[in-house]
Amino acid sequence: MEMQRLVQALAKAFGPEFHTTYEGGKLAMAEVLADRFRVATRQARAWIDELEAARTITWQGEAEMGDEAMLRAAHIGQAPVEIPPHSDGYWQLQP
């Protein structure tokens, strides 16, 4: 019951983004917890930084990504992994 109220409060505070993306939910949760306890712990801050960096990467399934995006993806532990191409000829990138 307490978790349901927390989720509802987060959804109200952060809008539809909280429900539409896992990253948005994690980011919202980290920000709320850090603010609620007035503690920017290393874990919470690292979590927020990682998710903000991940948001800047656009995974569109294209064969090539820019060097900056590749470095950023590798930095947050989500380097793309190529899997066989689909019928449209594009390689799908898997985070």
pLDDT in tens, 26-85: 666 666 666 666 555 666 666 667 666 665 554 444 444 455 555 555 555 554 444 445
pLDDT in tens, 5-15: 666 676 666 66
Q: Is residue 25 within 8 Å of 54, Cβ to Cβ?
A: no
- The DSSP call for residue 61 is -
Q: Are residues 49 and 64 in the same domain?
A: no
Q: Are residues 43 and 87 in the same domain?
A: no
How far CA 59 is from CA of 36, 81, 93, in Å, comes to: 33, 12, 7
How many structural domains are present in the chain? 2
Q: Are residues 90 and 47 in the same domain?
A: no
Q: Are residues 22 and 48 in the same domain?
A: yes
Domain residues for 25? 1-55
